[in-house]
Structures are given as structure tokens and as C-alpha cells.
Chain A
Amino acid sequence: MFAPRPDIRPATVEVFVEGRPVLVPEGASAAAAVLLAGLPAIRETPVGGAPRLPYCMMGICFDCLAEIDGVANRQACMVTVEPGMRIAAQRGARQARPGTAPEVAA
């Protein structure tokens, strides 16, 4: 469904979307990689569980939330790809984990 415009920039950066390797141009966003990977959805909404793909591509709609390199709920359209980046689906609300966060001093 999505394809890069021809002869803009060569796709030289390899990232992994849901474990699948995708080549994207340097400077592209993680959301672009998600669209090129051809997935049906990159997140499910926390309340209704509806599937979502990147939409506004400019940091407004939050529909591109993904788990990027292990960090939940990142706006994929605002994150620039880096070689080896791992972009995974954000399924529902993220999990905060009692007991794992370091305690700050009082």
C-alpha cells in the first residue's frame, strides 16, 4: 500500500519492524518504516482495542505509538531511524512495572 517516492534517497538503513527487516533512507522516521513494512496495524488503542497505523506523521495524532528499542508508547513519527532499531507493536496501554524503577532519594 505504501511505497517511497522514486529516486529520493537510497534505502540504506536496516531496522526491524515486528522482527521483520525493513530498509529505509537515512533520516526517515520509524513511522515510515512501519508503513513500508506493510503491517495491518502498529498499535491497539488502550480502551477499545482498535487497530491503528501511523496517520498524521507530524506528532499530533498519537496513532503511531510503538515500542521502540524497548521503550513503550513512543511516537514513531517523531523518532528518526537508526541502524538495527527495533520497532514493535504497542498493544493497548503500556505496562508500568512496580519494583523495577529505581527509587529516587527523598
Chain B
Amino acid sequence: MSVTHDVIVVGGGLVGTAIAYGLQKRGLSTVLLDEGDVAHRASRGNFGLVWVQSKGLGAPHYQRWTRGSAEAWPSLATELAERTGLDTALHQPGGIHICLSEEEFEQRAVYMAQLQREAGNLGMEYRMLNHAETAEMLPGIGRAVVGSSWTPYDGHASPLYLLRALHTAFRDAGGTYRPNAGVSEGTAAPRDFSVQAGGETHRAPRIVLAAGLGNAALAPRFGLEAPVRPQRGQVLVTERTRQLLPMPTTSIRQTDEGSVMIGDSKEEAGYDSLTQTPELMRGMAQRAVLTFPWIAELNIVRAWSALRVMAPDGLPIYDESGRFPGAFTANCHSGVTLAGAHADILAPMIAAGELPPEMAPFSARRFHDVRSAA
């Protein structure tokens, strides 16, 4: 049995579903192929920041992309709520990066100044705050907090409600969702692609590979490359408590339901997402308690690790095949932050049939070109 569509999207996580939704709502009949729970499921372990202020140093195109996505988020959240009745719990009150030593504070000040210079005409509003100024924004900080950086662009959302809302909106818009449909075979010709998945054959003039870590093996079959590797992150979650955090920090946020999430660890541990390392968890908890001493009273009720999808330079990859026009890749480690861009900036580009020149810096060709090496 062969089914023909306008677009095949491979990958049912936040990246693939946001793109598929963006395509389907623009009238392209789209099939979304989801491998199943054997996949690494980065979207199920996400921390949930919609975060701008720590991204894109040395890569102004990425800074602009992230800002654009943060700006696209409110209308996406409103639209998803209207279409599905699901609240993605988006809040963009600004965000804080905490510094626990003079050294951290000085490094952060240099970093933020550089980021602002690189923003160029786009501009970037930020402030370095001392302890007292930080305490005004975030009551209850500990004495160990030397200061912080603040920008008005940051925020957070519920990754799980976002994923569910995108899936629901995609299907409500007429999209075809196929679970347990890992791609087993694929053939590529210019604007003519066919894949076998879940016992069916799907054909389309466009294909978007958004399979996270799975893209590394999948991309070469379609004349593309996606040299991504796993980077493990761990998350600790406390019991629910009454709302105390008016805005998120880089590593601590409070959900709408009241849980405090503690995150932002980075480990090179291969594909092992089952192990958790107590010394690392202890370090995360200790930093959280130094930042907000009241967290020490709370019980940790859950913890997990998940695998980020990292390119060699840590930036997203958006690419199109030169050999097989119509084949695209999308890889990033910020499926929540970039959901706005994926649904409403990237999807229209793919719908138009090719990526515009301003997307060239995101091409995986950058890993071969010494002149553009950052």
C-alpha cells in the first residue's frame, strides 16, 4: 500500500511535530512518522525553558533565530489553546542567570556584552544585577548569590503540554499521524521521495528529517548529513509548592502546577540515558539550595536523565539536500525554545520548497568549510 502526501516528516518529537503542524495548517497534506517508544525521546525529558540569553555567542544568526522564536511563541501558544483547548503554560516574564561567585559574575558580564555587540541592529536588552537588585526580582535568594544577568526575552513553558498540543492541533488540521512507524527503507530522487515505515510506503515531493539523534543515520540516505551526538542532561523535580518563583533562571524553574525543576547538567555519556550520577545530582541540588535556600525544605519526588541532540558546535542544523532538492533536515537541542520558529518560520520556508539564503549558516556544510569554522 502506497500513500502520497505533500510532505513526509520523520520524527514525532517537538521539532518534527512543530514543523508538521506548521506545514499542515498551511494546507500541505503532511504525514508525521513517529518511531515509537524505542526512540530516545528527547522531547519527553525537556526542561521547558523558552530561553534566549545563553544562546548564540559567536553565531549571530542563531541569536536572531532564537529571538525570532521567542517572539513567535505567544501567537503559537494562543493558537494552540484556541485549536486544542490545551494550555502550554507559556510565561515570558524575562529570565535570570544566577552567578554564585565574583568570577562567574565577571565572566557573565563579558559574555552578555559580547552577545549584545553581536546582536547588531537587532539590539539586545539586558542588565547585570547585583545581589540586592537580583533579590528585588527574585525574592528569597541566598547570600551566596553574587549577582545575575537579566533579559526581558526569556521564559518557560510545559514541554509535555506543548508536545500534546502540537500533536492534537496537527491531527485536527487534517494531518496524518503514524505511531510505531520507524523508517526502515527509503529512496530519494529530486522532489520524489519514498519511505517504508510501519508496514506502509509513503511518497512525497518533500521530506523533512527531524528524527533527533536518529538523523545521524537517516540523513545520508537522502543526500544530507547530520553529525549529531547525544549529550546527557539530568533533571530533579521537587514536590509541588505554592508559587514562589516569579521568573525562571537558567537552571531552576517552577511549573504552573508548583513543582520546582532543577536542571542544566551536561555530560558526555554516549547513548546511556538510564544512569543517573549521584555526585552530579548532588551538585545540582547544592547549587539550587545556594540560590534559593528554601528549596532545601522540599522533597525531590522525581529525577531523570535524557539525551540532548548536539551538533559539533552546539548550534542547530537546518539543511536541504543539493543532490535531492526537496529533502530537509532539522536538528536542535532546544525543541521548546525553537517551537515558535519551527511552526511559523521554518515550516513556511519548507512549504515554499527551499531554504532562503539567510539559513545557509545553519547548513551542515559548515563542518567542512574551514573558512566558516567558528
Q: Are B244 and A98 in contact (CB under 8 A)?
A: yes
A91 vs chain B, min Cβ distance (A): 11
Q: With A73-B239, A103-B142 known to touch, is A97 a contact of B286 (CB < 8 Å)?
A: no
Instruction: Using CB atoms, name the residue of chain A closest to B238.
Output: A96
User: Is the CB–CB distance between A104 and B240 below 8 Å?
Assistant: no
How many positions in chain A have a CB within 8 Å of any CB in the partner chain? Answer: 17
**Which residues of chain A are near B139, meaning CB under 8 Å?**
98
Interface residues of A in 70-103 (CB under 8 A from B): 73, 92-103
Residue B119 interfacial (CB < 8 Å): no
Measured between C-beta atoms, what is the minimum distance from B111 to chain A in Å?
22
A106 at the interface (CB under 8 A from B): yes
Q: Are B298 and A93 in contact (CB under 8 A)?
A: no
Contact A104 B257, beta carbon cutoff 8 Å: no
Is B296's beta carbon under 8 Å from chain A?
A: yes
Residues of B within 8 Å of A1, CB to CB, are: none
User: B47 contacts the other chain (Cβ, under 8 Å)?
Assistant: no
Q: Report chain B residues within 8 Å CB of A99.
A: 140, 294
The residues of A that contact B240 with a CB separation of less than 8 Å are: 46-47, 93-94
Label chain A's interface by main secondary structure. Answer: loop
A100 near B294 (CB under 8 angstroms)?
yes
Within 8 A of A (CB), among B278-299: 286, 289-290, 292-299
A98 to B297, CA, bound (A): 10
| Bound-complex Cα distance A102 to B295 (A) | 11
Size of the chain B interface, CB-CB below 8 angstroms? 24
Considering the complex, give the chain B residue whose CB is closest to the CB of A92.
B242
A106 touches B241 (CB 8 A): no
**Chain A positions within 8 Å of B296 at CB level:** 101-102, 104
Cα-based distance from A104 to B258 in the complex (angstroms): 24
CA distance A83 to B293 in the complex (A): 32
* Inter-chain contacts of B258 with A (CB < 8 A): 46-47, 93
CA of A98 to CA of B289, assembled, Å: 11
List B contacts of A104 (CB < 8 A).
286, 289-290, 293, 296
CA distance in complex: A98, B143 (Å): 12
Given A47-B257, A101-B293, A101-B296, A94 and B241 contact (CB-CB distance below 8 Å): yes
**Complex Cα gap A101–B295 (Å):** 8
A73: B residues at CB distance < 8 A? 239, 299
Separation of A100 and B295 alpha carbons in the complex (Å) = 11
Taking Cβ atoms with an 8 Å cutoff, the residues of B that contact A are 100, 139-140, 142-144, 239-242, 244, 257-258, 286, 289-290, 292-299
Contacts A93-B240, A100-B297, A106-B290 known; 9 new A-B pairs at CB < 8 A? A46-B257, A73-B239, A95-B242, A96-B242, A96-B297, A103-B143, A104-B290, A106-B100, A106-B143
3 closest A-B pairs by beta carbon, nearest first, are A98-B140, A93-B240, A93-B258
A-B contact pairs, 24 of them (CB 8 A): A46-B240, A46-B257, A73-B299, A92-B242, A93-B239, A93-B242, A93-B258, A96-B241, A96-B295, A97-B294, A98-B139, A98-B244, A99-B140, A100-B294, A101-B293, A101-B294, A101-B296, A101-B297, A102-B296, A103-B144, A103-B293, A104-B290, A106-B100, A106-B144
